[in-house]
Amino acid sequence: MTKAKKKITVPSEVRRRVEALRSEIDRHRHAYHVLDSPVISDQAYDALVAELSELERRYPSLRRPDSPTEKVGAAPREGFVKVRHKYRQWSFDNVFDEEEFRAWAERLRRRAAKIGLSDFVPEYVCELKIDGLKVILRYERGRFKQAATRGDGRVGEDITANIAAVETIPKTLKKPADLIVVGEVWISKREFERINAQRRRAGEPLFANPRNTAAGSLRQLDPTVTAGRKLEAFFYEINEVVLPAGESRPQTQAATLRLLSALGLPVNTHWKLARTEEEVENFYRFWTDKHTGEAYQVDGVVIKLNRIDWQKALGWTAKAPRFAVAWKFPAEQATTVVEDIVLQLGRTGALTPVAHLRPVKIAGTVVSRASLHNKDEIARLDLRVGDTVIIEKAGDIIPDIVKVLPDLRPPGAKPFDFRRAAEKVCPGGIAREDVGGGKGVIYYCRDKNGYEVVREKLTYFASKKGLDIAGLSRCTIAKLMDASLIDDPADIFFLTEENLLSLEGFKEKAARNLLEAVRAAAAAPLEKFLTALGIRHIGEETALAVAAYLSEKFFSGFESFSPRDLVVAGELSLDDWSRIEGVGDKAARALREWFTAAENIRLLERFDEAGVRLFPLRSRSDTSLRGKTVVITGTFDAYTREELKEKIRSLGGKVSSTVGAKTDFLLVGRKPGGKLAKARSLGLKIIPEEEVEDFLSGE
| Domain boundaries, position 41 | 12-71
Together in a domain, 28 and 136: no
Q: What pLDDT shows up at residue 360?
A: 86
Residue 1: the pLDDT is 46
The catalytically annotated residue of 6, 71, 129, 375 is 129
Choose the final residue of a domain: 273, 302, 328: 328
- Residue 109's nearest CA partner among 123, 98, 121, 95 is 121
Q: Quick one: 63 and 93 in the same domain?
A: no
Same-domain status, 240 and 173: yes
Provide the pLDDT for residue 438: 54
- Least confident range of 265-269, 600-604, 624-628: 624-628
CATH label of the domain that carries residue 207: 3.30.470.30
Least confident span in 136-140, 262-266, 672-676, 693-697: 672-676
* Average pLDDT value for residue range 587-613: 95
- Note whether residue 104 is domain-resident: yes
Whole-model pTM: value is 0.62
**Using CA atoms, how far apart are residues 667 and 70, in angstroms rounded to an integer?**
43
Residues 6+ apart with CB under 8 A from 642: 464
Question: Which residues are bridge partners to 430 per DSSP?
Answer: 445
pLDDT digits (tens, 9 = 90+) for 639-650: 888 888 878 877
CATH number at residue 571: 1.10.150.20
Quote the DSSP letter at residue 36: S
Query: Is residue 623 one of the residues assigned to a domain?
Result: no
Name 326's Cβ contacts closer than 8 Å, sequence gap at least 6: 92, 93, 94, 95, 129, 300, 301, 302, 303
Same domain, 324 and 186: yes
Q: Amino acid identity of 601?
A: I
Query: Domain of 31: which CATH number?
Result: 1.10.287.610
Kindly indicate the confidence band of residue 79, based on its pLDDT and cuts at 50, 70 and 90: low
Cα 105 to Cα 256, 308, 316, 367, distances in angstroms: 22, 16, 15, 27
- Residue 129 annotated among the catalytic residues of the structure: yes
Please write the tens of the pLDDT for every residue from 439-495: 567 888 888 888 889 999 999 999 988 999 999 999 999 999 999 999 999 999 999
The model's confidence at residue 35, banded by pLDDT at 50, 70 and 90, is low
Considering the domain architecture, whether residues 351 and 320 belong to the same structural domain is answered as: no
Query: Residue 253 — very low, low, confident or very high, per pLDDT cuts 50/70/90?
Result: very high
What percent of the chain clears pLDDT 90, i.e. is strictly above it? 46
Residue 59 pLDDT exceeds 90: no
Q: Does one domain contain both 99 and 248?
A: yes
463 assigned to some structural domain? no
> Looking at 591, 615, 639, which one is the last position of a domain?
615
Segment 364-375 shows an average pLDDT of 83
Compute φ and ψ for 102, nearest 5 degrees: -65, -35
- For residue 454, is it within any domain? no
- Based on the domain organization, do 124 and 202 belong to the same domain? yes
| Statement: residue 522 has pLDDT above 90 | yes
By the 8 A CB rule, do 13 and 47 touch? no
Q: Is the model's pLDDT at 397 over the cut of 70?
A: no
Q: Let me know if residue 3 belongs to a domain.
A: no
Radius of gyration of the CA atoms of the chain, in A = 31
Task: Judge whether 312 and 330 are in contact, CB under 8 Å.
Answer: no
Mean pLDDT, rounded, for 34-55 = 79
d(CA 388, CA 383): 9
Most distant CA atoms of the chain, gap in Å: 97
Extended strands (E) in 188-268: 231-242
Question: Alpha carbon 308 to chain centroid distance?
Answer: 37
Does 530 or 26 have the greater pLDDT score? Answer: 530
Q: 321 and 312 in contact (C-beta within 8 Å)?
A: no
222 part of a folded domain: yes
DSSP codes of every residue in 367-396: EEEEE--SHHHHHHHT-BTT-EEEEE--TT
Q: Which of 330, 353, 335, 331 is nearest to 403 (CA)?
A: 335
Q: Which of 410, 445, 480 is the last residue of a domain?
A: 445
Residue 394: the pLDDT is 57
State the pLDDT at residue 594: 96
- What pLDDT shows up at residue 568? 94
* Across 46-73, average pLDDT: 80
Q: Count the helix, strand and coil residues of the chain and give each as a percent rounded to the nearest 5.
A: 40, 20, 40
Phi-psi region of 591 (alpha: psi -120 to 50; beta: other; left: phi over 0): alpha
CB 316 within 8 Å of CB 307: no
Concatenate the DSSP letters of all residues of 321-383 into one string: BTTEEEEEPPPSEEEEEEEEEEEEE-TTSEEEEEEEEEEEEETTEEEEEEE--SHHHHHHHT-
Mean pLDDT of the chain: 87
Q: Residue 173: what are its φ and ψ, rounded to 5°?
A: -80, 165
List helix spans (H) across 472-539: 474-482, 497-501, 508-521, 526-532
Give a yes or no: residue 354 inside a domain.
yes
436 pLDDT tier (thresholds 50, 70, 90): low
Cα distances (Å, whole numbers) of residue 407 to 23, 258, 386, 410: 9, 48, 12, 9
Asked if residue 465 belongs to a domain, the reply is no
d(CA 429, CA 324): 60
- pLDDT tens column, 399-432: 889 889 999 998 888 899 988 888 888 888 888 8
Give the Cα separation of 521 and 499 in Å (integer).
Answer: 18
pLDDT at site 34: 62
- Together in a domain, 132 and 255: yes
Q: Compute the Cα dihedral for 458, 459, 463, 465 and give only its sign.
A: negative
Could you give phi then psi for residue 555, rounded to 5 degrees?
-130, 25
Tens of pLDDT, residues 267-278: 999 999 999 999
361 in the same domain as 500:
no
Q: What is the DSSP letter of 312?
A: H
Reduced to 3 states (helix: H, G, I; strand: E, B; else coil), residue 161 is helix
> What is the distance between the alpha carbons of residues 168 and 97, in angstroms, rounded to a whole number?
35
CATH of the domain at 353: 2.40.50.140
Tens-digit pLDDT profile for residues 187-239: 998 898 888 888 889 898 888 788 888 888 887 777 788 888 889 999 999 99
Angle at 351 between CA 347 and CA 356, to 5 degrees: 105
Tally of domains within the chain: 5
Q: Are residues 29 and 171 in the same domain?
A: no
Confidence of residue 6 (pLDDT cuts 50, 70, 90): low
Residue 30's pLDDT is what?
Answer: 74
Under 8 Å between Cβ of 88 and 285: no
Q: Are residues 486 and 393 located together in one domain of the fold?
A: no
Same domain, 321 and 337: no
Cα 574 to Cα 592: distance, rounded to the nearest angstrom? 6
Q: Which is nearest to 118 in space by CA: 310, 346, 405, 288?
A: 310
